[in-house]
Chain A
Amino acid sequence: MRRRLAVVLALALWPWAAALRGEEPAPAAPDPRALVGAPRGALLAGAALDAETKRVAGLLRCPVCQGLSVADSPVGMAVDMREQVRDMVAAGYDEEQVLAYFEKSYGEFVRLEPPLRGVNWIVWAGPLAALLAGAAIVARVLRAPRAKAQAEGGPAGAPPAADALPDDPELARYVLRVRELAYGWPGGTPGAPAPGDGEAGR
């Protein structure tokens, strides 16, 4: 009986023992430890592990479906990536270590939020700078006519007087002629009495 047990045990442990002797290496995927160091956080399990996996996977871009995070994408690759995140989170790797691990193989592109470094400052500060510049331009344009009017000492945008004439003498002559025809003003000026006024009064 004891002998039988020993044989069964030896058979069960055979592949493992062979691996230990270096005859046959045990299958092993790349170890994140070599790239991002030892886990910095606590081991996670159960609901806490589920929640942290979802949160961290939400920060990773699914490489084949650019607009979606690894947490939201249904494709096979995202499923594998979620499982990788889960394994790392369970082993105690923190958010930055998980993101750094994926970044080592996929590049910075895999982060949904570009980190604040180098050229990425433009992405974060650019829209704010553009908004401020736009506000400055609008403020300047709105203030300009008022400032001009104040400098001239009159209300902004006052219409010219009814009898004002253009500077161009040629044009002024036509304006006077039109007024004479339209209003019946002799010579185009309103001061002179219109011809026929005296007769009409009689």
Chain B
Amino acid sequence: MNRKVLIAGLVLVAPLVAVLLIGLGRDPRVVRSPLVGREAPPFTLRPVGGGAPVSLASLRGKPVVVNFWATWCLPCIEEHAVLVSGARAWEGQAHFLGVVYQDGEETIADFLRRRGSAYPTLFDEGGKTAIAFGVYGVPETFFIGPDGVVADKFMGPLDDAALSASLRKALERAP
């Protein structure tokens, strides 16, 4: 009888323990995006502060860094400097785009005037582009290969190392 109870207990508990162990081995910050490995949703958005609308399709041939952000998000503000210096360092090799997430156009324009920018920041009316990219919260950054396919996604504020690592992944994709 004791043996039976032991076996039954193991049958019930072993799968649970296995699931928990698999979960423990994962980085909780990494949320797998169904978009990675798929073509990036095409968009044409107008830049904050005026100018011609920018379409993702027109940037093919080089990797594109698409960063969703807002001024009310503190990590985004910390990350801004990393992205601006990254855009300058990778100039000619990759395109950088900011996409405003749930923020006022005037607030964003004001922020960019004060802190400077090195790439276009686009206004996403109704958050439709953020939805198409499956954005959970800002900051979130997508790395699109020269072929238009999403090579990597990064959640949270980027640092120089993470930016370079993900950009190299995007560069690996042939145009």
**What is the distance, in angstroms, from A14's C-beta to the closest C-beta of chain B?**
13
Verify B33–A29 contact, CB threshold 8 A. no
**What is the distance, in angstroms, from B146's C-beta to the closest C-beta of chain A?**
20
Verify B136–A64 contact, CB threshold 8 A. yes
Residues of B within 8 A of A30 (CB): 41-43, 128-129, 132
Q: Which of B29-82 contact A (CB under 8 A)?
A: 32-35, 38, 41-46, 52-53, 55, 58
**What is the distance, in angstroms, from B94's C-beta to the closest C-beta of chain A?**
21
Residues of A within 8 A of B43 (CB): 28-30
B154 within 8 A of partner (CB) = no
B23 within 8 A of partner (CB) = no
B89 within 8 A of partner (CB) = no
**What is the distance, in angstroms, from B2's C-beta to the closest C-beta of chain A?**
16
Complex-state Cα separation, A31 to B132, whole angstroms: 9
Known contacts A76-B102, A80-B130, A104-B34: A24-B52 contact under CB 8 Å: yes
How many residues of chain B are within 8 Å of chain A by beta carbon? 29
Verify B125–A107 contact, CB threshold 8 A. no
A105 within 8 A of partner (CB) = yes
Verify B128–A29 contact, CB threshold 8 A. yes
Mark each residue of chain A from 1 to 38: 1 if its CB lies under 8 Å from any CB of chain B, else 0: 00000000000000000000001111111110011000
Known contacts A105-B34, A105-B41: A29-B134 contact under CB 8 Å: no
B124 within 8 A of partner (CB) = yes
**What is the distance, in angstroms, from B132's C-beta to the closest C-beta of chain A?**
4
A102 within 8 A of partner (CB) = yes
Residues of A within 8 A of B131 (CB): 80-81, 84, 102, 105
29 contacts between A and B (CB under 8 A): A23-B52, A24-B53, A27-B53, A27-B125, A28-B43, A28-B44, A29-B43, A29-B45, A29-B126, A29-B128, A30-B41, A30-B132, A34-B41, A35-B41, A76-B127, A77-B127, A77-B137, A80-B102, A81-B127, A84-B128, A103-B34, A104-B34, A105-B33, A105-B34, A105-B41, A105-B132, A106-B136, A107-B32, A107-B34
A residues whose Cβ falls under 8 Å from a Cβ of B = 23-31, 34-35, 63-64, 76-77, 80-81, 83-84, 102-107
